[in-house]
Structure 1
């Protein structure tokens, strides 16, 4: 029987071979055609990768050139050899001196932003089609290792410390070189001592150092910009860079103002403090800007910011006053030195405003015995995000102005039509929100506005062989999104994933119910047992006791859909990076056209580019007006073009949305809890070990981790994060690689 089967197969093979040869001769060869198609696909992929690398090189070269301008600005070489000829060639009747500064300081960064948008679009598409992630090189891992674990700066890696020292070195070089070149040209005049002239020179140079700091100040808080992702950063992790730059900026500007007050006092010109020059530096405008900056600075003291967050939040809106009067103080030409960061921030801020105009479709909420809340929003499948992303939410019924960031706990792959987040009842805002949700009459609807999500561009945690996730209290929330993403990759894609060791510390046993949130409320997780998941939960303030099902129950609240509520959707559509690049480019070109027309046909006939007749304040107001008009028009058009697709999907989602119960919330409460009593819940219980009466022995547990490439993430109180970072940077275990994901800015 076996011999006949092999003979038949052999005959079939020869028949197919002869048939293939006939077809090959007739059509020129199928195999040749398939080979050519394969070669074409490979060549297209090679060209795409070559394009990505070329854009990386181009962005790097342009950025280094822009940085070189700042480095050389205090030198005589820049002043005599570079600046003067360039100003002569660019001093046109359309832009004047402002055109030179736009070309040198503004255009390079906006060019990088546009190229970065194209680059990120290509990288995003490539990552979506890629199932494997490259491991991190050993050199990069060494640079990412924490070298400082200290309260003033937090957890600082080797590369962060190096860049900080380089920036401080740039500031010192910038100021010292300015002083050397400035003092060398000073001569004592009649009735004025040399030290007074040096004080005047030192004061104005301090203002230039402040300009350098301001040039970088707004990049970390531009959530949707392409600049941060190009550097592998997120807006949430970059907040501390904004804090550091803000302290330095205001300290320098304060010294600048104090030095001038002293100078005016010793030279009997104290009346300069109340002068507003028409076509020169306006002292009063500078004082108003400095006062606004000092008020913002005062409320950033940690104790004030934590205890009186509303005061901090409202006072920080004075940045608008600071920027307007800063522009009037120095003039539009000088303001172009810091314009790139401000310009990108204004685009981002307006897009956030457009996104937050609609009420988000809140589907349900889960209230935990630990007084934590899980909010579940309907979202468009086109809205994709990576684990560890954050959203900002506003609940007008609690506070009409306050926006708070929270970590997204859902996976856009596992739950394509849901976005979830967890809120722990801690401050006054969260206490009011919990009380609102706990009130029976709010089960019809809750108005919520959302901005985001914002987050990393790639799943960097997949590069590790295993993951150790250390959390304290509500710090478990960023890890929920990671575990859900791993569930999707294992159950749906069936690809290798890292093993996960979750170490969680809770104060009370009621907090253990936060582990139930590892499972989505939709119940579409088939089986957690396919994950190599181990959970060690520690209850630090209680001893073992008999469980009380009523006490540890989770309450689900469902909300009725309203026509005015819309599912969360990408404000610029699925190709958001390309649209953002188009908005940046088109708005800036429109701005150039408007100021060119204004300068040529209105301002130039008056001052003939002398900068001595036309008012700084009027020019600044017109420039600011044109910037706002160009950004508002182009961004609004981009949002309107993509709004049709979002509206179409919103109607589809609402038509199949879960109906709100019309009988009583209790029936839905029962059904919502029953979803957890299933196979996923059982697999979660099997993977969990609970310990009472002590903190986790982190050092012992981390040093016992096996594997050559172990990623360690810590989230929670500052002390816990610092302890984990200390262990990973101690050198006792070379296989531990710390990943800082602090959200406690």
Structure 2
């Protein structure tokens, strides 16, 4: 299921105005609930919360025979976030209707008002390129952690000084133990946010203008914070047990209290996972990083067994949404995609073409995860979608650069003298922004290095569609692309789609500046030749389709809400008629079985509801799939000739001639990015960059300078 769909062109109407009003009302409600949730997080460590204004609220669900002590955290922490997620689903569904052209024009004022906050604040450093908005939110988040820890300690230390200690501990020993406990509580706060960035089809991230693929760095930041806090938490407790002579506690698995051994197992799994996430290990041994990341399952399960389901409700909503998304991805990945053709370029680049249903729509810069079982049954790799769902209704294309062991194996298969007649593949996605805002700018400058050109191909194709459909002038487009060798110029052949291209591109203001850094002229050639590969799909292969149909956001909201309500009903019944008769008022029921029961109920509810929604929409998708299964790979094959590689464009049509005239080739030099960007005199210039780390830093440095007030920096990077 894609996280966004292309906005269809439609004339303004009264229904569009009504949708806009409803969206604004939902946005106001979202802000109110969000700020209320933040206020709860701020007040939790205070005495006011534990002894004052929330006592009456906490007493109602905690004394309930249906939910017990987990009722309060579910009410205060789990419900608001899932409610926001459902609001986001409705908000995004309503946003799929109005014309993107109209919204883009209306968004120019908002873009200018927030331009300063979007500018890069930090360009080089351990955090990478960070905007002022990200600095502000990161500062507030760290302040929340520091505030919570300091407030917890101040209140608990006062209690120890006033009331004494337990178990005959000295005051400093009790304070040491309490410090470890508070570190764990603060770590739970950070853990609550950890899974939001990796929920690919998220309805929460778009409310903040984010996508999952662009939020991976937040997941990395949160992961480091979580593991530092939990590691220190565990070390402090071990030191405490050694000091007081109770080392047997290390292997203790209590029945009615926090269980120590599960916590240590969870921490150990987290440490192994954490060790492989550092850049040097991740880049050199990606497969090790990939497989050890599955330890998150052990980490979460034993974490819940360690602290019990009550405290787990604090981090539950983020993980709950992740589990819904993960199971939908599992259902989608069970099908074999209908791969109809491939194109192998001389620059060690492959273009794969999949058949898709017309109902599957996606935005520019969207990505798709690909699995080829013959290479690895477990590995999934993200690739940028280069096709456009408006121009190419029945085809989806991705571009793969031969840069790693996995892609090298795939390249060897496709470039062999006798490529296979069929290649099994499964996909997840597409995923991308719910909408694009490129029309807010007067000019769009796209800077790429090597295979970084791929997301810009989808953007250019979107503007080709807009310029021909709306018959109006689109923003000026400048593509600055740097390649190492002349053979990589063949990437420019992919800018125009092979089919569905309009004959008139006069409204498209496109200029391409292509730089070849290692070759002095166009005479350097490679012995490799472009190769077109046609496949004969099996009858079992299915065209790509939206996993939850055209109304995917509404279906996702229904899955989240219905599964959670089912969870509440089942847990209420189990607690009322099984757990409560045993524990009653003396907390006799063991923590571990109760946590296991809740985990099982959550999993069962998600599986039942998500499977039902998937099966319902699968039947509807099957009708569209039958209409296009008769197509074979012949309609999607590309001619192997490459005009750019031969140093001259083959003028096959007016669009190709226009592209050739708009292209300037520069050999033996690198682009002077500072000079090129400073020449942009328009009042609002969007600067997108996708390429090597140094290129991103150089562009961000130019855009962050005081003299570049008209430049608005946006990074498009999918590197892990």
Q: Structure 1's 385 and 669: CA in aligned 2 closer, same or farther, altered over 3 A? A: closer
Superposed displacement of residue 131, structure 1 = 6.7
Question: TM-score when scaled to structure 1?
Answer: 0.91
Query: For residues 127 and 609 of structure 2, what CA distance do their matches in structure 1 show?
Result: 39
Alignment pair present for 1:208 and 2:185: yes
| Aligned residue among 159, 182, 185 for 2:156 | 182
2:70 paired residue among 98, 108, 111: 98
Please say if 1:575 is aligned against 2:551: yes
- 1:275 match: 252
More displaced stretch, 341-350 vs 120-129: 120-129
TM-score, L = length of structure 2: 0.94
Q: Which residue of 2 aligns with 1:28?
A: none
- Per mean C-alpha deviation after superposition, the further-off stretch among 280-289 and 93-102 is 93-102
Instruction: Report the CA distance between 1:128 and its aligned residue.
Output: 5.6
Look up the match of 2:358.
381
Counterpart mapping for 1:653-668 below 5 A: 653-659=628-634
Query: Does 1:435 pair with 2:412?
Result: yes
Question: Residue 442 of structure 1: SS of its match in structure 2?
Answer: coil
Aligned partner of 2:699 in structure 1 is 724
Report which stretch shifted further, 649-658 or 482-491.
Answer: 649-658
Structure 2 match to 1:557: 533
1:140 aligned residue (103, 114, 120):
114
Structure-2 separation of matches of 1:474 and 1:316: 27
RMSD: 1.9
Mapped pair 1:67 → 2:38? yes
User: Could you tell me whether the CA contact under 8 Å between 2:536 and 2:632 is conserved in 1?
Assistant: no
Aligned to 1:590: 566
| 1:734 is aligned to 2:686 | no
Q: CA deviation at 1:93?
A: 0.7
Q: Which residue of 2 aligns with 1:625?
A: 600
The Cα offsets for residues 519-551 of structure 1, whole Å up to 9 and x where unpaired, read as 223363435554211111111111114265x84
Q: Is the 8 A contact 2:485 2:519 kept in 1?
A: yes
Are 1:372 and 1:425, in contact at CA under 8 Å, matched by a contact in 2?
A: yes
Q: How does 1:359-438 map to 2 (within 5 A)?
A: 359-438=336-415
Please say if residues 467 and 505 of structure 2, whose CA atoms lie closer than 8 Å, have aligned partners that are also in contact: no
Aligned counterpart for 1:162 among listed residues 124, 129, 136: 136
Pick from 562, 576, 580: which aligns with 1:604? 580
| Corresponding residue for residue 123 of structure 1 | 95
* Greater displacement, 521-530 / 710-719: 521-530
Count of residue pairs the alignment pairs up: 697
CA contact (8 A) 1:712 1:737 kept: yes
Q: 2:436: which partner in 1?
A: 459
Q: 1:21 is matched with which residue?
A: none
**Alignment match of 1:713 (pick from 685, 688, 693):** 688
* Contact map agreement 1:572 1:639 (CA 8 A) in 2: yes
Per-residue CA deviations over 1:616-656 (Å, capped at 9, x if unaligned) read 22111111111111101100111111111211111101124
Q: C-alpha deviations, 1:426-478, integer Å up to 9, x for none? A: 11111011011112443411111110111111121111111111101111011
Query: If each structure's helix is expressed as a fraction of its own residues, which one has the higher value?
Result: 1
C-alpha spacing 1:127/1:441, structure 2 compared with 1 (3 Å) = same
SS of structure 2 residue aligned to 1:415: coil
Q: Residue 646 of structure 2 aligns with which residue?
A: none
| Bigger RCO of structures 1 and 2 (CA < 8 A, at least 6 apart) | 2
Q: Which shifted more, 173-182 or 442-451?
A: 442-451
Max Rg structure: 1
Q: CA deviation at 1:67?
A: 1.3
Q: What are the ranges of 5 or more consecutive residues in structure 1 without an aligned counterpart? A: 1-40, 662-667
1:485-505: CA deviation from partner (whole Å, max 9, x where unpaired): 011111233232111111111
C-alpha distance in 2 between matches for 1:509 and 1:260: 61
8 Å CA contact 1:127, 1:458 repeated in 2: no
Distance apart, 1:658 and its partner CA: 4.2
SS in 2 for 1:126: coil
Alignment match of 2:281 (pick from 294, 304, 316) = 304
Contact kept in structure 2, 1:527 and 1:683, CA below 8 Å: no
The DSSP-based 3-state class of the residue aligned with 2:105 is coil
Task: Please report how far the alpha carbon of residue 506 of structure 1 lies from its aligned counterpart in structure 2 after TM superposition.
Answer: 0.5
1:129 to partner: Cα distance: 8.2
**Contact 1:573–1:642 (8 Å) recurs in 2:** yes
Give yes or no for the alignment of 1:351 onto 2:346: no
In 2, are the aligned partners of 1:364 and 1:376 still within 8 Å (CA)?
A: yes
Residue 719 of structure 2 corresponds to which residue in structure 1?
A: 744
TM-superposition CA deviations, 1:259-287 (whole Å, max 9, x none): 00000010001110011001111100000
